Amino acid sequence: MTNRALLVGINAYPGQPLNGCVDDVNDMAGFLVDSCGFATGDIRLLVDDRATTDNIKERLLWLVAGTTAGDRLLFHYSGHGTIFPFRDATGDVASQHASICPVDFDWTREHALIDDDLRQIFDQVAANTDFIFVSDSCNSGDLTRALRMRPRFLAPPADIRWRLRTAIDKRLPVLPLVHDRCALISGCRADQESADANFDGRYNGALTYYLLRALKGPNGHTMPLSQLVQAAGSLLAANSYNQEPQLRGPDEITAKSFLDGDGSVSNSRPGQSTAVQSPPIQSVAMQSMPVQLIAGGTQAARDAITSAAVRLVELVEDAAGRGRGRGRAALPAFDGDTVAKCVDARLSDAADIEALFDAEGGFFAWYNKTLSGTAAFSHRGRARDNTEIRGHFTSFWDHLADTFGIKPITFVEFCALMSVNIEETTGDLTSAPEEVNGMHHPHPGLAYAFDKISGLKQSYNDSTDGSNKSALELFEDDDFVAAHKMLPGAPRVLNRPGGIDPAWGGNTWPEGFDATPDESVNGFVMQADFFKFRGRGVIQTTWRSDYREVLKFILSADLSSQPDLLAVQQRWEAAAGSRSGTKELEYILTISRTDEWDKLFLNPLILAQGVHIDSMQKGNYLKLRHDVDGLSAGRSVNGSLLHMASRINGGDYPARVVPMMKTMMCGVASLLPHSRVITRRRPRMIEYA
């Protein structure tokens, strides 16, 4: 009997990265070795940049080659899924297919893996093979990301989105990723989304996390697949995940337990009595392909795979910090010497920062090599590194004086704020407007921002403390109506029989009103505070009260060198006329448009001011101590790292971010001799248009 597993996990999608996919496949690899009698040589992993279309197809052919009855096969995919509509030879939209998305997926047939591709490969599987396909992705969803739990659905570009509309109008069925020789366990129904979520500071796919929980529970490895999937679904529901895992496949497989094979496999761990005759670990080096493990994974899986180190590409620390990464020098301790080195380096702009990392290939190349697999950062994984990301980095740090209110700063401040950004966006220093739910979620679309969701968020329509004005207050405001009445959706609000719905003053979306977050449908409603003043920027600037401070800066600053900001300043001043003081501010906030604020926050000066304003309103949390004891003090101590992190966000956020801050300082210190002052290595000039 042959055991084979292909485990594919992709976090590093350009533009729409995920967080938990590499951890998913590492955890599954550990379970196969610990509990299913698989040897490390039976398992092949493809992650991130190596998980291309061609590589996945090549490994799938390895998976199915020469199978016989009773063999055990597992294909586990964690990543984005999507729906791909195809045109026929005449150019008409003729079909739409569920697709998994390799890392090089680009909305071309060449780089998609659809049902036809899998059918050609899976047809080679022998009858009566125990073959399971786990797909922790989704092939449905609304083209928008959830705020707390990111769906694993790849949003199509506008042209493909229009093609999807055509397919829906023609009522074309979606051809699923199923085959009559495998059992498919998928993350959700066709109208739901599979979550990529944080579990105690570590990311996983919700399906993989709870499927493994069910497998490790009482009778988990002996119950039929149908009961196992039900058990995973019960755990998902009990933990408030709106996804119901699905099981499809022939009865002869779904009636068996997970990877039951010919029935001779017990629940024993490797090394105990079992009918599976696995090759010794020492023989793994003779296999044709390496097991590749990038971040995360269980300790037992890591110990087993380390024995075959000659065939490993990379092994790094897991989220618990017990890994033994190879090819990376150990970081110094977070102590007085580390802090002193970081304090001694004075930074006035991006060139000063980049000078330290030049020899490492730039900050992001250094981060990916040095920090991304450490205990503190493994839950975030690797950062994207391209011209656009580097440009955002340079533009933001060229405004560090605007961010911190002082110049120069030190690497203490840089590491603290950059770690926050790694946590928030994996390093992309650009505007990240707070997004809303897909239309198949509870609190769909605009309702997510409008509603109070118990245990998760307050309503952004709440006007009780003056942070925002309610939509009802604005819809009855002459200035607001005059400014926005020509936008789509205004008549449905203003001309409602019986008057404007009083529900616009509450914290539950008005019943029966379309919540689609599309300006062509709801342009008028989307100018209300609950949506217009949602979170934007490196540190999410939220509420009318916070935007008022940004507006004060825009109206008072000399923007002659910032033509884009100057144009907005002049337009708003002209619109305000003779109004002054508070009346001027409130009028502009009321008549300003959502798209104007979106564009403003693309400017690095406004990004910097957003962080500065947030810090100053919360006690100047960016002003950090420059001694190890002060930085390590409790959250009530001004200048400590815990104080800074807790002022930015609550819950377990500080416990995740502070170790990141300290680890980055240790990494930076390893590049710095004591008392060295960084000097710039090249002159630069960047203009922001």
- What is the edge-to-edge ordering of all strands in the sheet holding 3-9? 43-47, 3-9, 72-78, 130-136, 183-186, 246-248
- What is the distance between the alpha carbons of residues 530 and 461, in angstroms, rounded to a whole number? 5
Q: Are strands 346-347 and 409-410 parallel, antiparallel or unpaired?
A: antiparallel
pLDDT at 304 (0 to 100): 29
- What is the distance between the alpha carbons of residues 236 and 243, in angstroms, rounded to a whole number? 7
Task: Please provide residue 617's backbone torsions phi and psi, each rounded to the nearest 5 degrees.
Answer: -70, -15
Instruction: Please give, one letter per residue, the 3-state secondary structure of 593-662.
Output: CHHHHHHHCCCHHHHHHHHHHHHHHCCCCCCCCCCHHHHCCCCCCCCCHHHHHHHHCCCCHHHHHHHHHH
For residue 104, give both structure tokens: 């090089």
- What is the distance between the alpha carbons of residues 212 and 296, in angstroms, rounded to a whole number? 15
Output the DSSP codes for 384-414.
P-SHHHHHHHHHHHTTHHHHHSSSSEEHHHH
Structural domains present in the chain: 3-310 (3.40.50.1460), 336-431+619-671 (no CATH), 447-522 (no CATH)
Q: Taking Cα atoms as reference points, which of 142, 152, 147, 206 lies closest to residue 457?
A: 147
Q: Taking Cα atoms as reference points, which of 111, 106, 43, 114 lies closest to residue 72?
A: 43
pLDDT at 156 (0 to 100): 61
- What is the distance between the alpha carbons of residues 27 and 516, in angstroms, rounded to a whole number? 37
CB 75 within 8 Å of CB 24: no
Task: Please provide residue 227's backbone torsions phi and psi, each rounded to the nearest 5 degrees.
Answer: -75, -35
pLDDT at 485 (0 to 100): 97
pLDDT in tens, 111-127: 889 888 888 899 898 88
Q: Are strands 246-248 and 183-186 parallel, antiparallel or unpaired?
A: antiparallel
CB atoms within 10 A of CB 681: 12
- What is the distance between the alpha carbons of residues 245 and 235, in angstroms, rounded to a whole number? 11
Q: Is the dihedral of CA 375, 379, 382, 386 positive or negative?
A: negative
Q: How far is CA 75 from CA 44, 341, 434, in A?
A: 10, 48, 35
275 CB-near residues (< 8 Å, 6+ apart): 264, 265, 266
Q: How far is CA 304 from CA 30, 46, 213, 261, 504, in A?
A: 9, 18, 21, 23, 59
- What is the distance between the alpha carbons of residues 187 and 313, in angstroms, rounded to a whole number? 30
Please return the burial class of 639, using the count of CB atoms within 10 Å of its CB with bins 0-12, 13-18 and 19+.
Answer: middle
CB atoms within 10 A of CB 115: 18
Residue 408, preceding peptide bond in cis (omega within 30° of 0):
yes
Helix then strand count (H, E) for the chain reads 28, 15
Q: Which residues of the chain have pLDDT under 70?
A: 138-158, 161, 164, 167-179, 190-191, 261-329, 455-456, 674-689
- What is the distance between the alpha carbons of residues 504 and 664, in angstroms, rounded to a whole number? 46
- With residues binned 3-state (H G I as helix, E B as strand, rest as coil), the percentages for the chain, rounded to 5, are 40, 10, 45
Task: Please provide residue 163's backbone torsions phi and psi, each rounded to the nearest 5 degrees.
Answer: -65, -35
Name the DSSP class of 445. Answer: B
Nearest 5°: the CA angle 37, 271, 228 is 35
For residue 360, give both structure tokens: 């490492």
Q: How far is CA 330 from CA 195, 446, 667, 676, in A?
A: 34, 47, 9, 21
* Chain mean pLDDT for the chain: 81
3-state secondary structure of 313: coil
3-state secondary structure of 533: coil
Q: Map tokens 């229009």 to a residue.
A: 162
pLDDT at 138 (0 to 100): 66
pLDDT at 456 (0 to 100): 66
For residue 669, give both structure tokens: 């210190």
Q: How far is CA 400 from CA 250, 606, 607, 609, in A?
A: 61, 12, 10, 10
Q: Is the dihedral of CA 268, 273, 279, 284 positive or negative?
A: positive
- What is the distance between the alpha carbons of residues 91 and 224, in angstroms, rounded to a whole number? 46
CB burial readout 331-349, b (16+ within 10 A) else e: beebeeebbbbbbbbebbb
CB atoms within 10 A of CB 240: 10
Distance of CA 217 to the CA centre of its chain: 29
Q: Taking Cα atoms as reference points, which of 398, 396, 399, 387 lies closest to residue 430?
A: 396
Name the DSSP class of 161. Answer: H
3-state secondary structure of 633: coil
User: At 648, which amino acid appears?
Assistant: I
pTM of the shown model: 0.52
